[in-house]
Amino acid sequence: MTSTVAPKSVEIAIIGAGVIGLATALRLAGEGREVLLIDPNEPGSGASFGNAGTIAEYACMPVGNPGVLRALPTLLLDPDSPFSLRWAALFQLAPWLIRFVRQSLPKTTRANALALAGLLAEALPAWGEMVQEAGLQDLMRRNGCLYVYRRAADFAASAVGRALRAELGVHQQVLSSEQVAALEPRLAAFETRGLYFPDSINVSDPRAVMARLAAAATARSAQFVRASVTGLATAAGDVRLSGPGLAVTAQKVVIAAGARSRPLAAQAGDRIPLDTERGYHLEFQTAAPLLNRPVCPVDLGFYMTPMDDRLRVAGTVELGGLKAPPNPRRLALLDRGVRQFFPDLGQPSSQWLGFRPSLPDSRPVIGPSAKSPNVIYAFGHGHLGLTLAPATARWVARFIAGQDVQSAADFAPARFG
């Protein structure tokens, strides 16, 4: 799939070959469009590879909500909390944090949850299509997802989210400690309550999923070039992209560069308050699966996901930008946390830091630039990039086809004013 030379002109250029870009390339190439993917790294090698592997159609509660707002001072001051801040980045993050606080009020939380629920309703049907198109059947696990609550206060605090999800039609089941143990026998020693999402899917190997998406897009004649886009300019109805060794003119450009999308959007004329959540994972080799499905201990803020021959422990939020090196304290936090459940684990076989593209309202930006209509945004999915990739690709295809897309107004860049 990889080429070192980009064509001089193309119908559609997609900046970013993560899961959003790959799903979009597959969709558009399947419609007969001429597609060029541009990324400085191998397709799917960033946050699309390192996530918890969950297709979380239930995850309509935004990160910013009244519960988080009440706990925010404690969370940010505790370096071992699931939501932390690198204080050296405080000045840079201050505008984002102010917006985040405003979006965490009850009225805005509800509006954001309603918007996300509408988009998430497309997630499983769109994934069903993409599984067939890319031959992903053997990589999908349909065992649901489980939240576990080890403290009564945490379960009580989840009541608002449970009620809202129920109102929005999310399939969820409250479980007793005995029911949790029946689903996950290795958790039988813990006194827990559970919240089970039976419709959720997870993938057994995110890297393999990305490779197959790339191969399926290539089979439909999509091209890929390893290059960095540093310049974007619109002129005479086209969009010109430039960078080291790169000069491409496209009729339409899709910006799907994840956490690195903000400067490109600025060149298209839009100020998007995108910032970065730094996510971590550890992996442990296992002779047999320790769990049957992804399990999230809510008090620890990460997922434990069984994957092919290994357990991946992924999650937490660290606000701190793109440039700082990995924080060993966050990796140690994951290590200590998973050993509360599985004390006999060996040493981690791998560790990883990636960058989630995060917006204060937890809604992605999907739609044409307010200033440059030939530029279409598809970024800012936060924790839901894997979940929403094929649904986002559907919407991008609709925009490119010029179809009526008023129902996507909740995700338009114009909401930022």
pLDDT of 315-331, one tens digit each?
888 988 898 999 999 99
pLDDT number for residue 15: 98
- Cα torsion at 255, 260, 261, 267 (round to 10°)? -110
Mean pLDDT of the chain: 93
Which pair of tokens denotes residue 101?
């606080």
* Exposure class string for 245-260: b at 16+ Cβ within 10 A, else e: ebebbbbbbbbbbbbb
CA angle (6, 208, 215) in 5-degree steps: 35
Closest among 39, 90, 155, 145 to 321, alpha carbons compared: 90
CA distance 319 to 108: 22
Which pLDDT value is given to residue 407? Answer: 66
**Span 49-72, average pLDDT:** 92
Please report the DSSP string for 12-42 in residue order: EEEE--SHHHHHHHHHHHHTT--EEEEESS-
* Global confidence as pTM: 0.95
CB 164 within 8 A of CB 57: no
1, pLDDT greater than 80: no
Structure confidence at residue 405 as a pLDDT band (50, 70, 90): confident
- For residue 79, pLDDT beyond 80: no
Distance spanning both ends of the chain, measured CA to CA: 39
pLDDT at res. 339: 96
**pLDDT for 340:** 95
Two structure tokens written together for 137: 């059947």
What was the pLDDT predicted at 186?
93
User: pLDDT for 24-55, tens place per residue?
Assistant: 999 999 999 999 999 999 999 988 999 999 99
Residues 29 and 219 sit within 8 Å (Cβ to Cβ):
no
Tokens for 263, please give them.
Answer: 């400067």
Cβ(242)–Cβ(257) below 8 Å: no
Amino acid at 386: L
- Name the residue with higher pLDDT: 406 or 209: 209
The answer to whether residue 3 scores a pLDDT higher than 70 is no
Strands 295-297 and 145-149, bridge-based pairing: parallel
Alpha-carbon gap, residue 258 to 357, rounded angstroms: 5
